[in-house]
Amino acid sequence: MSNPSLLILAGDGIGPEVMAEVRRIIDWFGDKRGMAFDVTEDLVGGCAYDAHGTPLHDDTMAKAQAADAVLLGAVGGPKYDALDFSVKPERGLLRLRKEMDLFANLRPAQCFDALADFSSLKREVVAGLDIMIVRELTSGIYFGEPRGIVTEGNERVGINTQRYTESEIDRVARAAFELARKRGGKLCSMEKANVMESGVLWREVVTKIGAADYPDVELSHMYADAGAMQLCRWPKQFDVIVTDNLFGDLLSDAAAMLTGSLGMLPSASLGAPMDNGRPKALYEPVHGSAPDIAGQGKANPIACILSFAMALRYSFDAGSEADRLEAAVAQVLADGVRTADLMGPDGGTPVTTTGMGDAVLAALDASL
């Protein structure tokens, strides 16, 4: 039986640095836990444009379609700001999401106890926070037609269209209900049904699914702007949140900062099951390419490491090993090991990107 396949797309900026630490952890699981992966590496984003004139080569797209999971670092940087919109680095990531049909984006916001004082909110507001935002990823205003910049009379007009079908809402809602059923049994759906017809349809579809198929899950609804306010006021009232592409983008970034650092947060983008029963999947840290610190050993690899933990859980049926890796990260943080983004007034042991990888590997060794 062949090993599961993993395509690594490190990307731009700090992407290769944080991904190098993940490669060491992948190797650890092969050496110490008998979990070997067939790993292939390729280009995405600005580096792909430099090599091929496109942010995602067709051959790379084919590799992504065939892999059991894709692990991505980060894309973009000021070097590429002047490129035409159609070939900007971010278009490579959007193509992966769209053509792999990765409709459910899972973005956890978890506050590790050792970092509760790093949030801009009071400790009692964020300590113990563990919520999951499920964002619809392949439709909505980022993909709707018509779109573009047109001329009307003597001025230009920018157009983007918010569009959702019942089936698109249905499948992401079911993914969120299933997660809520396995977690705390609560799901909050967020939209703007008070001013948007797409929000009215969203609320109707989610309500119908909940009543028919998930009566055991406590369903609530909230306008997305009120949801943003409540995330800042008392985020622990939520368990799972499901929302559309635009609001999910905004709300998950807001939730990310509740935890103290974008360098800590992973994400998973899941699609329909493949022939092996596993969902098509792409895993990536929430943070960007951070070109201002690239190559300096300052980047925090934890978000990318935790993205691999999500891959273990959702793509490789290895929930206990995901728990092991997450516990190792928690132990390292509790021991005061800190990359530059985590250095606070209480100090800690400063380490480089590689030093944080060393610490996580040592904690994994100690877990055996």
Which tokens belong to 316?
């490789």
| Active-site pick, 12, 42, 80, 142 | 142
Among 121, 136, 117, CA closest to 251: 136
Phi-psi map region of 53: left, alpha, beta (phi>0 left; psi -120 to 50 alpha): left
Whether 142 is catalytic: yes
Give the span between the Cα atoms of 286 and 262, in whole angstroms: 7
Q: How many CB atoms lie within 10 A of CB 253?
A: 15
Whether 117 is catalytic: no
Residue with tokens 């006021």: 233
Q: How many helices (H) and strands (E) does the chain have?
A: 12, 14
Q: DSSP letter at 67?
A: S
| Active-site pick, 68, 80, 88, 192 | 192
Strands (E) located in 176-304? 186-191, 218-223, 240-243, 266-273, 279-285
**Which amino acid makes up residue 196?**
M
Whether 249 is catalytic: yes
Whether 298 is catalytic: no
**Which amino acid makes up residue 224?**
A
| Active-site pick, 117, 253, 323, 358 | 253
Within a 13 Å sphere around the CA of 65, how many CA atoms are in the beta-carbon half?
12
Whether 192 is catalytic: yes
Four-point Cα dihedral 66, 300, 256, 232, nearest 10: 170
Give the span between the Cα atoms of 260 and 255, in whole angstroms: 10
Give the span between the Cα atoms of 280 and 252, in whole angstroms: 22
Give the span between the Cα atoms of 336 and 338, in whole angstroms: 6
| Active-site pick, 101, 130, 225, 323 | 225
Give the span between the Cα atoms of 346 and 214, in whole angstroms: 45
DSSP 113-160: GGGGGGSSS-HHHHTT-EEEEEEE-SSGGGT-SS-EEEEETTEEEEE-
| Active-site pick, 12, 68, 244, 249 | 249
Question: What residues are labeled active site?
Answer: 142, 192, 225, 249, 253
